[in-house]
Chains A and B, each alone.
Chain A
Amino acid sequence: MNETVSPLLKVVVGIILLIVVAPLVVPLLMSISDTPFIVFPPQGFTLKWYGAVLANPEARASFLFSLELAAIVTGVSLLLGVPCAAGLTRFKLPGQDAILGLILSPLIVPLIVTGVALLQLFAMLGSRATLLQLVIGHTVVCLPYVIRSVSASLLLVNRNLEDAASVLGAPPHIVATRVIWPQVRPGILAGGIFSFIVSFDDYPISMWLADGNHFPVPLYLYTVIERSFDPSIAAIASLMIFFALLLVLVIEKVFGLSLARLAS
């Protein structure tokens, strides 16, 4: 089996993986440098930049706001997306292709364009509700992922099990909770996690709709990179990388989902 992967290929893959990891490792190294500016290789060792970042009220406010936004967006996406996936997979709807096309099209239109189009619409409507606008913008993008993921697991549901349960006299709510739910749970979970990540990481929609009081983490990071040059930026970047690693662990160990499945 292993014969199909030649040693030369392994070396090439190793080099590519090193390049892939490099931009995530270098900020880690620089964040501990005891110099007032960024320099490679790092000199000395200090954790003071981490202290500075964690004590920064702006950074904390952005982080909390992003968590709140992502949580609301995930809730709304699931609330809209799960019934929609059920409707799409369990019913023959005339015009199903058109409906599917509409649902998936936010994945095709560039996010930056969706964002600017929404800003234009909200300006036309005279809306000032920033949080609501951000929730709407992010939900537009997260819905396709949720619906795709939940539909995929609903299509795999074994209808015979439901029929068997019903024939044996299980009332609908028992069928739903004890037969259908265990089968679609991974799909709903994956869709929820995915929409949380997409919302938490979004830049191209938030850049149009956010304001100073509703300032998600990616926008905050960008402004920090633009205006300061000390290793505290590297410390923030490192914290975000640790956060991502934590997410990988949670997804793989706690939820028992594989990253590869989530991404496909």
Chain B
Amino acid sequence: MSRADIIDVTASSSPDLRAAREIPEGWISRLAGKAWSLLSGRYTGYLLVAPTVLFLAAWFLWPVLTMVYLSLTAHSVDGVMVEGFTLENYIRLFSSDLYFRILMRTIRIALMTSLFAALFAYPLAITIARGGPTLARLVTITILAPLLVNVVVRSYGWQTILNKTGALAWVLKLLGVSNPPVLLYTEWAVLIACVHVYLPFVVMPLAGAIGRIDRTVEEAARVAGATRFSVFLRVIFPLSLPGLAVGVSLVFSLSAAAYVTPQILGGNFSPLLGTLIEQQILTLNDWPFGAAISTLLIAMVLASNLIFLKLVSRRFARWTAGAR
């Protein structure tokens, strides 16, 4: 019996399927169907995954590994590559006062961004997880919508606020501050804008973690006489740590590698590692050194993932072992 016969038999017995058959099927759906029917072959899984894997191997893995390799080479003053491996680029990065200061500033700003983002994120996340549906939705949309606004625009927005003739100076003057400080082109400006840009990345996982906390645990603590603050400190905070770890590791990684925000708000006065990479490669054409800074940035991101995620999850398992 051919396939067509099967269709005819069932089509007459099931009105639904007959309706389905009568709808003219375009070539796209036929093609999709053919593709789907192939999904029973032995190597089909690999065939489906192969294009993406090859694409990423060629255009992601290869270039990144080449760059790590490049960071271990050196070129002489006249730009000729020197044979063999060397750690010269890394030694230069850590021994030069200028570069070391930029490295420290990057770590400092990334850590402070994570800290302040976490501080602001808790009230927002608690409201999303525990507030009424309307309130939760309002907060969620207000937090997420800026993500759709380009980073350049958001950084520019802070420029218009922190400027000498900006909104903040105007507000401070109204409040009677005679000599308002100009924050633009300082580390503070970079920090403020970074917290604003990366805040959603810690609010969302945190809201998820708080939402998963059993409400009865909080109620039990309240009934037992705990104040709101101690409920937060001893119930919500410890139980939300896995979400906080995800968010903080994201914020640290993103702000350590930030380029646009520090450029627009820090000017030439407080460059971070991203700016240094750009200068070394586009201005000075020193590829091995630029590659070394890039490799260091990857190492920093991996280390932060390891510290925040692995360490916290282990601690967390120990802390909550008794509660389960």
Interface of A toward B, CB cutoff 8 Å: 1-2, 4-6, 9-10, 12-13, 16-17, 19-24, 26-27, 30, 38-41, 80-81, 83-84, 86-88, 90-93, 99, 102-103, 105-106, 108-114, 116-121, 124, 136-137, 139-140, 143, 147, 168-178, 180-181, 197, 201, 203-204, 207, 217-218, 221-222, 225, 233-234, 237, 240-241, 244-245, 247-248, 259-260, 263-264
Contact = CB atoms under 8 A, between A and B. Distances in A.
Given A20-B146, A26-B161, A10 B7 contact: no
User: What is the interface of chain A mostly: helix, strand, loop, or mixed?
Assistant: helix
B180 interface: no
Nearest to A111: B257
B298 A87 contact: no
B60 A140 contact: yes
B32 A177 contact: yes
Interface of B: 3, 6-7, 9-11, 14, 17, 20-21, 25, 29-30, 32-37, 39, 44-49, 51-53, 55-57, 59-64, 66-67, 70, 120, 123-124, 126-127, 130-132, 135, 139-154, 156-161, 163, 165-167, 169-170, 193, 196, 199-200, 204, 208, 215, 218, 228, 253, 256-257, 259-260, 263-264, 274, 277-278, 281, 287, 290-291, 294, 297-298, 301-302, 305
A87 B47 contact: yes
User: What is the interface of chain B mostly: helix, strand, loop, or mixed?
Assistant: helix
Contacts of B215: 4
Contact of A120 (B10, B67, B139): B67
Contact of B147 (A30, A80, A240, A263): A263
B156 A168 contact: no
A190 to B, nearest CB: 14
B153 A248 contact: no
Given A80-B55, A248-B141, A121 B132 contact: no
Contact of B150 (A10, A26, A109, A221): A221
B199 A20 contact: yes
Contacts of B305: 108
A169 B62 CA distance: 47
20 contacts: A20-B143, A30-B160, A40-B169, A80-B51, A83-B49, A88-B49, A91-B44, A102-B60, A110-B301, A116-B290, A117-B66, A117-B294, A118-B63, A170-B10, A171-B6, A172-B37, A173-B32, A175-B36, A176-B36, A233-B156
